[in-house]
Amino acid sequence: MPRRAHKAWAGRMAQPTARVVEAFTTSFPFDRRLYAHDIAGSIAHCEMLGRQGIIAPSEARTIVTGLQAILAEFESGRFRALPGDEDIHMAVERRLIETVGSVGGKLHTARSRNDQVALDLRLFLRAEARGIRTLILRLQRALGTLARRYDDVVMPGYTHLQPAQPVLFAHHCLAYVEMLTRDIDRFADMLRRIDVLPLGSGALAGTTFPIDRRYVARRLGFRRVSTNSMDAVSDRDFAADFLAAAAILGMHLSRLAEDLILWSSLEFGFIELPDAFATGSSIMPQKKNPDVAELVRGKTGRLYGNLMSLLTTLKGLPLTYNRDLQEDKEPVFDSVDTVKGSLEVLAAMLPKLRLNRARIGQAATAGYMLATELADYLSSRGVPFRDAHAVVGTIVRHCLAAKTPLESLSVDELRRFSPVFDPDVAQWLSAAAAVRRRRAPGGTAPDNVQRALRRLGV
């Protein structure tokens, strides 16, 4: 029978914990990924105990040496968990006492697992959020590189998924860059709120020991120290902040994925997906499926679900710590992994996309997308825009009946609908000209797009 971990609270209980309870309550199989943060927090706490004379400096040095040895065991894969290790905190403490002897039991002076786990999760999310921001920047650059390569391509812009007005393909790519910039801001805002040290709050009421929380905060890189011990051990707003930011980021990635799926379809035919980022069919030899984009779109549902899972867990909890909070980690871990995976695969795929210039060029004037140009032409010559809109609507109806493109109409034919039309109207009836005229800030004009690409550094 394997050796079992001794429970830190075993003195209170007359009977050992039932095996089914151990299996049900353990979090070590998933919270072991917090090991580096747990040990970093423990080292800072131990150093503070030694500095404050709460434990002897020599004892602190012994404990820190033991913790560093345990960190090496985790990083080399040599750490062996025991049945009954409840969580990462007790597993590390159990191994510490095995390594350095009973002095290891002094590490937990002036702290509780309640403030310890709050610290670990903050450290974990701080590191992961910073890494995710870097991945978002990488995806922005991939979008910018794609936009730069095809910065002269005019494509249809859509509303209601119907052809609306011509835009530069690069302008479309840069719309997603803007979304991702907001995502970066959201993670930055979350990082500001996560930057609070909870350690030193104890189980819920603080501690009687003369601890130096500001030293620990400096040691771990926190700018602030929590001001209410009850809130500090029960607060998971920062985790909900992260999951909300991840869900909104996932929504943006899903919208990008949907465009890629549509554009790669036979009906659109705008892009060719790289073979290395597509799959085939087990039965239909001709198929080339956009599975990567579909999975990015599908995984967004997990990000939404993880946010709702945590919010639902938190909504009825009385102060302070409750074991329900053990359920905060798996949604957080899953969202971290899901977001990172989606960002990495999209950043790798986008630079390898190929545009079908001929097909996009054909589509750039289809669906009477230059109708707004005619209305603007009339309006620029003094016709009230509502009247101009009505005139051009009548022209479009005529073209539909005659099955003729708008740009094929002669000036004489246009004058049947309004005497304001002059020969120079022909200069308005091209997709490239329509794009060039959108020079107002934020518009799709080439100069605007080039400035945006330069700001992006591509």
| Vertex 445 angle, CA 361 and 182, to 5° | 105
No. of helices (H) and no. of strands (E), the chain = 18, 6
- Give dist(CA 298, CA 179) in Å, integer: 19
**Structure tokens given for 70:** 């345990």
Residue 281: active-site member: yes
CA distance 246 to 310: 13
For the record, the structure tokens of 216 come out as 């620990």
The residue type of 358 is A
- Separation of alpha carbons 127 and 408, rounded Å: 59
Helix (H) or strand (E) holding 255: helix 237-263
Catalytic entry in 281, 380, 408, 410 = 281
Residue among 76, 102, 160, 282 flagged as catalytic: 160
Query: How far apart, in Å, are the Cα atoms of 397 and each of 134, 184, 251, 392, 415?
Result: 51, 46, 38, 9, 15
Distance CA 204, CA 321 (A): 8
Q: Where are the beta strands (DSSP E) in 329-368?
A: 354-355
51/57 Cα distance (integer angstroms): 7
* 89 assigned to active site: no
Contact criterion met (CB below 8 Å) for 394 and 421: no
Q: How far apart are CA 216 and CA 198, in angstroms?
A: 10
Residues tagged active-site: 160, 281
